[in-house]
Amino acid sequence: MTYKLLTIGVIALLLGACGSGESRIAQGNREGILHFGNGTEPQGLDPHVVTGIPEMHVIVTLFEGLVTKNPYTLEPEPGVAKRWNISEDGLTVTFYLNDSAKWSNGDPVTAYDFVWSWQRALSPKMGNQYAYMLYPVKNAEAFATGEITDFAEVGVTAKDAQTLVVALNAPTPYFIQLMDHQSTYPVHRQTIEQFGNAFDRFTPWTRVENIVSNGAFRLTDWKLNRRIEVTKSDTYWDRDKVELNGVVFYPTENISTEERMFRVGQLHRTESIPLDKIPVYRAMQDSPYVNSPYLGTYYYLLNTNEPPLDNLNVRKALSLAIDRRRLTETVLHGSTLPAYSITPPGTLGYQPPKVFEHDIQRAQELLAQAGYPDGKGWPGLELVYNTSESHLKVAVALQQMWKDALNIDITLANEEWKVYLDTVDQMDFQMARRGWIGDYVDPNNFLDLFLCEGGNNSTGFCDPVYDDMILQQAPRATTREARYAIFQAAETRLMEQMPIVPIYTYTSNHLVQPNVKGLFSNVMDWINFKYISLDQDQGQGQRVVD
């Protein structure tokens, strides 16, 4: 495959503010600034409000929880907590905080900050869709659902400024992993209360001029739909190990534009890659294309409260009519794997059940049983997806499969990221694209999505038997085998009721400049920006693919 430089005119047009012909990458290498493609404009930066990957990328630079994640192994390592211990019965976890941990205004980070922050994260007034991440904590779910109102009954206490004691409902093997999730991060109480009510959403406390954070970087600029800049913090406890001087995040929903930015030296790393460019980059020698296994599932939400999806046979017909293997091998160029369940195969050794497969004849029979033989009388159905070339290509392919197999019409509607998130949250849709990436490496992280009234459920599905299996039976299982057997039975029950249509298991697909060091591939696509450095002598980011 050949390479060539773009014309000077095109480079100047795309590089814009870099000036003097120097690429943004070359300048970033010199100054220790990582230029990072972030997919889309973040909805916000409040750890207890937002839910998306673009938001998380920025938040993990600004805030730090009790633990953080090692990008090599994904094992927890010290964050605000310098160490922790778990009682013999597995019911009490004690965190010992680093007395050097500080907020960006110089205030110490204390155990009292975590108690208040968890009360905020669990408060029903907060509307935190990730509140359930703290449900392993004693009485956390009861407080979050309004069953109890006294937070003193929740199992989290500050023994003193540096000691946080957490009581659990049951031994929870993945609990320490939860402590690096954004929903468990501390937030600065005085700052939040200065700019609104503690439980208000999207208040001015996260603006550049107001925000107080405790991470390795601090927020220094935010130009909507253009860039977010963070700069190395001089108050961070582990600042001597942070090699980057800053990160600039670029929201670019158009992935073809993002790929062009990479080619002309504007980005060190892209969030994605156009599907039709995957074969091109695969064929390159010393290719910047990085494809890795990813702990995530791409699926469609089905609003089971809305006709015609309130009919189980319709939901099943839609799923059985999809030829997932053809989709992944052609439209997706072999970059993903067909999915028949919500949990990715091999999650800590767990194998999900497969209760259906591609079966057009059976799909037609089910649609006829629902009252729409050969599509006759079909009332129509709309699929909503967030703006993306890849999402559109998948949607168009499935639209045609449903037409060919079932003789039904599906209309497509794309929405900008923030509008789409609101549409899904309010369940103002019939069918909607969704993707879920594991927040921790355990099947529970996928199966607890569909609990009754779960913050990220958005399907109308509610099964008390399923809830009992996930919330009560699985945590009390005495062996991994017994726990996984309960999960398999629960997931079988879920897929037999089909509130979602699983489509494919993700892989991560990025373009990365060769001089970026410490950006390790892992199944969560987790980035610990503390580990990243830039090699000034390797690559200037101006190679272009014909």
Q: What is the mean pLDDT of each run of 10 residues along the chain (546 residues)?
A: 30 42 91 96 95 95 97 92 97 98 98 98 95 96 96 98 97 93 97 95 96 98 97 98 98 93 97 94 95 94 98 98 97 94 92 96 98 97 95 97 98 95 96 94 94 92 97 91 96 98 96 95 93 80 43
Contact between 45 and 55 under an 8 Å Cβ cutoff? The reply is yes
Buried b / exposed e across 425-452, counting CB within 10 Å, b at 16+?
eebebbbbbbbbbbbbbbbbbbbbbbbe
In the chain the domains, ranked by start, together with CATH numbers, are: 8-45+206-270+512-534 (3.40.190.10), 64-186 (3.90.76.10), 295-507 (3.10.105.10)
Contacts 24+ apart (CB under 8 A), 146-155: 151/119, 151/122, 154/118, 154/119, 154/122
| CA dist., res. 113 & res. 460, Å (int) | 35
| CA dist., res. 135 & res. 119, Å (int) | 12
> Looking at residue 211, what is its pLDDT?
98
> Looking at residue 14, what is its pLDDT?
43
> Looking at residue 538, what is its pLDDT?
61
Helix and strand tally (H, E) in the chain? 17, 18
Smallest Cα–Cα separation from 317: which of 388, 237, 408?
Answer: 408
| Tokens standing for residue 514 | 């060769």
464 contact partners, CB below 8 Å, separation of at least 6 = 452
Instruction: Give this prediction's pTM.
Output: 0.84
Cis amide leading into 308 (omega within 30): yes
Q: 3-state class of 135 per DSSP?
A: coil
Question: β-pairing, 431-437 with 381-386?
Answer: parallel
> Looking at residue 1, what is its pLDDT?
32
